[in-house]
């Protein structure tokens, strides 16, 4: 018998992303986040509305979604409870956050420039997705309450993939058997187990989902 309960959070499990954005002075910010989902080459990113990354994204309209593999968990953990905001907002002070300007150095990660966008890619991440902002949606709004979260709809304009996670002989296909993403569930880190069974959905060729024109930003 199920029972009715009220968990504080409903973070059932999603991949971790290291989201890189540009600060106002042109330096790089790097934020771990995991409220994200994809449809085709678009992705929805859920972020605190007043956070440093959200403000960077609203202003610069570009980011890179760097997806760490499970083996990078210690690097990701070093970024937890760090913020690019200075001063630190009171609710983050209460949660033990500290300001950090150079998050790449603290995490022991290497920045390289994006090819089509200004924010940095994380060399160690096997998946690096350069993206531009398409739309911003208020999220979780309630009457008489200020909006505290935003859903950022971004479009991927270039995907960099480590060949070691590609299917043998098929350069445009990531192998889910080789790709070992880092996942977050209820604020704890996990990896993936083995494939469970034959997938009926996977009988549809992946190319059936390819968007017609997704790669290029207008004029890029
Ligand atoms: C693994 C992980 C996942 C997180 N997921 C999110 C998320 O989905 N959305 C969000 O707003 N914050 C998330 N956070 C908290 C942010 O990292 C935190 O707000 C941080 O201050 C963001 O950096 P910034 O302040 O420099 O923007 C997550 C933190 C960790 C460690």
Give the model confidence (pLDDT) of 163-202 as tens digits: 999 999 998 999 999 999 999 999 999 999 999 999 999 9
Tokens of 38: 């994809």
Q: Is the pLDDT of residue 88 over 70?
A: yes
pLDDT for residue 211: 82
Measure the CA–CA gap between 42 and 15, rounded to whole angstroms. Answer: 16
Please choose, from the candidates 178, 185, 190, 193, the residue with its C-alpha nearest in 3D space to the C-alpha of residue 73: 190
Q: Is the pLDDT of residue 214 over 70?
A: no
Mutate to test the pocket of ligand 1, among 20, 29, 30, 31 (most ligand atoms within 8 A of CB): 31
Measure the CA–CA gap between 119 and 112, rounded to whole angstroms. Answer: 9
Please state, rounded to an integer, the average pLDDT across all residues of the chain.
Answer: 95
Mutate to test the pocket of ligand 1, among 32, 35, 70, 72 (most ligand atoms within 8 A of CB): 32
- Can you tell me the mean pLDDT for 87-112? 97
Could you tell me the domains of the chain?
A: 14-209 (2.30.110.10)
Measure the CA–CA gap between 194 and 178, rounded to whole angstroms. Answer: 10
φ and ψ at residue 149, rounded to 5 degrees: -135, 150
Ligand 1 centroid, distance to 20 Cα (angstroms): 12
- Match 């924010």 to its residue by tokens: 119
At 213, the pLDDT band (50, 70, 90 cuts) reads low
Give the model confidence (pLDDT) of 122-156 as tens digits: 999 999 999 999 999 999 988 999 899 999 999 99
């Amino acid at each position: 018998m199920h029972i009715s309960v009220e968990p504080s959070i409903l973070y059932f499990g999603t991949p971790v992303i290291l989201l890189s954005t540009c600060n106002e002075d042109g330096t790089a910010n790097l934020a771990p986040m995991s409220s994200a989902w994809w449809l085709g080459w678009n992705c929805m990113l859920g972020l605190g509305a007043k956070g440093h990354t959200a403000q960077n994204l609203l202003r610069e309209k570009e980011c890179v979604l760097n997806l760490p593999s499970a083996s990078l968990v210690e690097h990701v953990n070093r970024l937890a409870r760090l913020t690019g905001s200075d001063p630190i907002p009171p609710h983050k002070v209460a949660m033990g956050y500290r300001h950090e300007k150079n998050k790449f150095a603290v995490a022991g990660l290497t920045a390289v420039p994006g090819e089509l966008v200004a924010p940095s890619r994380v060399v160690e991440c096997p998946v690096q997705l350069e993206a531009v902002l398409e739309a911003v949606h208020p999220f979780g709004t309630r009457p008489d309450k200020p909006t505290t979260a935003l859903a950022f709809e971004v479009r991927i304009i270039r995907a960099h993939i480590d060949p070691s996670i590609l299917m043998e002989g098929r350069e445009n296909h990531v192998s889910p058997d080789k790709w070992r993403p880092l996942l977050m569930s209820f604020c704890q880190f996990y990896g993936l187990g083995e494939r469970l069974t034959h997938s009926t959905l996977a009988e549809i060729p992946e190319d059936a989902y390819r968007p017609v024109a997704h790669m290029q930003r207008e004029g890029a």
